[in-house]
């Protein structure tokens, strides 16, 4: 089946037996059992990361509503299984904890989401990390390297990473790809050799700004290990969130393509504005030197970043002048969101590290939504118009 059909039809295998059309929500925290031996057998299976054998016993071990979302997401990623978590950071933490069982070292390619960067840098999980560039992964490996982490497109600069090339450098070391910006509609990391495809499901998968979640698509063997960590740490996804995500997947291809079409218009319009220094969008000249759009990704997505002439004060002024675009962190929602990475999503990242990957004080990240692109451009235009006099004054200052 093709992606659009998978999005609508997956995770519904038990609907006929249940006699339902819409996914049911199971809010039970505990599940009755009849036979103690059978219940013990089911508990042991789930505690080891497996699936229930009869009663689900307790909601921290398994929930059928969440499981349907996991089945649907796995189908969209072309994965054997998927494991959902309470947030994207919980999902990333679970992968890192599993890595810690096999070695004490991680290689990470910047830029990464600010929370991921800080988790790695903090040493909180007892892991050493080497930050590097995509072409230097092999040189950064050590005998105790247990994981390589990349994010593509990268947050917030939209830097693209050749997944297959990183996998080749990593050799036997598993590779985790944060594919949040691309979604399963535009990119499937496992098909390029990655071991884990991670999504902050809060973003495009949910798509409406009303659910916090994370999910990892991987093989059955790795999924079992991740479920065991979820059971132990309690990083489970609430059933209502699982329901909302399963529902969100049904419209994901339509939403992604519509927002992407809008983003193409917005990127072109921003390039023409005198107050814009540069625009980062995977489809623009110079933003995809390895030709990954069309080869690794089926499209550029709907997130872009642009630098405003006049530095921090000009970027701040643009934010203040906006009337339609929503000033908020996060992305992938039906409405267009704009934020200042240095001040917000990447505030906890080391300043030198930000400078190395081009995250500057004049940079704004824009997640394009489903509004009419002419209206979005008009709002951005009037806000940018206000900073042209600021830039002129700055240039005139001795």
Reported as a single tens digit per residue, the pLDDT across 63-114 is 999 999 999 999 999 999 999 999 999 999 999 999 999 999 999 999 999 9
User: In this structure, what are the phi and psi dihedrals at residue 189, rounded to the nearest 5 degrees?
Assistant: -55, -35
**What span, in angstroms and rounded, lies between the C-alpha atoms of 240 and 262?**
30
**DSSP 8-state class, residue 191:** G
Confidence of residue 397 (pLDDT cuts 50, 70, 90): very low
Confidence of residue 390 (pLDDT cuts 50, 70, 90): low
Residue 242 near residue 62 (C-beta atoms within 8 A) = no
Q: Which position has the token pair 């004080």? A: 361
pTM of the model: 0.94
CB-based contacts of 355, cutoff 8 Å, min separation 6: none
Both structure tokens of 83: 């494991």
Residue 305 near residue 266 (C-beta atoms within 8 A) = no
Structural domains in the chain, sorted by start = 3-249 (3.40.640.10), 252-396 (3.90.1150.10)
**What span, in angstroms and rounded, lies between the C-alpha atoms of 163 and 134?**
9
Cα first-last separation, the chain:
65
Angle at 87 between CA 163 and CA 363, to 5 degrees: 60
Catalytic positions are: 60, 113, 178, 203
Output the average pLDDT for the chain. 95
pLDDT exceeds 50 at position 398: no
Residue 56 near residue 39 (C-beta atoms within 8 A) = no
**What span, in angstroms and rounded, lies between the C-alpha atoms of 7 and 281?**
26
Q: Which position has the token pair 């830097």? A: 159
Residue 49 near residue 222 (C-beta atoms within 8 A) = no
Please write the tens of the pLDDT for every residue from 246-279.
999 999 999 999 999 999 999 999 999 999 999 9
CB-based contacts of 34, cutoff 8 Å, min separation 6: 55
């Amino acid at each position: 089946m093709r992606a659009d059909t998978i999005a609508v039809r997956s995770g519904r295998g038990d609907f006929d037996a249940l006699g339902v059309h819409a996914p049911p929500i199971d809010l039970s925290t505990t599940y009755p059992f009849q036979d103690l031996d059978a219940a013990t057998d089911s508990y042991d299976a789930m505690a080891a990361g497996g699936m229930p054998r009869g009663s689900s016993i307790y909601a921290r071990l398994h929930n059928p509503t969440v499981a349907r979302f996991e089945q649907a997401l796995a189908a969209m990623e072309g994965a054997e299984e998927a494991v959902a978590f309470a947030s994207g950071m919980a999902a990333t933490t679970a992968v890192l904890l599993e890595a810690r069982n096999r070695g004490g070292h991680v290689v990470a390619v910047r830029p990464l989401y600010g929370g991921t960067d800080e988790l790695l840098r903090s040493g909180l999980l007892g892991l050493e990390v080497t930050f590097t560039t995509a072409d230097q992964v092999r040189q950064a490996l050590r005998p105790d390297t247990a994981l390589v982490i990349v994010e593509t497109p990268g947050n917030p600069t939209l830097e693209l990473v050749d997944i297959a090339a990183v996998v080749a450098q990593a050799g036997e070391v598993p590779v985790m790809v944060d594919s949040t910006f691309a979604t399963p509609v535009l990119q499937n990391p496992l098909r390029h050799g990655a071991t884990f495809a991670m999504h902050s499901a809060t973003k495009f998968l949910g798509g409406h700004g009303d659910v916090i979640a994370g999910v990892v698509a991987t093989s059955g063997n790795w999924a079992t290990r991740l479920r065991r960590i979820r059971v132990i740490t309690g990083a489970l996804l609430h059933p209502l969130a699982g329901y909302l995500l399963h529902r969100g997947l049904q419209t994901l291809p339509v939403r992604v393509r519509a927002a992407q079409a809008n983003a193409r218009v917005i990127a072109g319009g921003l390039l023409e504005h005198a107050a814009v220094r540069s625009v980062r969008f995977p489809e623009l000249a110079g933003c995809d030197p390895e030709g990954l759009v069309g080869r690794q990704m089926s499209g550029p997505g709907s997130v872009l970043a642009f630098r405003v002439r006049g530095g921090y004060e000009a970027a701040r002024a643009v934010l203040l002048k906006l009337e339609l675009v929503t000033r908020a962190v996060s992305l992938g929602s039906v409405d267009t969101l704009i934020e200042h990475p240095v001040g917000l999503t990447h505030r906890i990242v080391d300043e030198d590290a930000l400078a190395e990957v081009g995250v500057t004080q004049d940079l704004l990240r824009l997640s394009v939504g489903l509004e009419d692109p002419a209206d979005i451009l008009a709002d951005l235009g009037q806000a940018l118009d206000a900073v042209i006099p600021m830039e002129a004054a700055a240039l005139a200052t001795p």
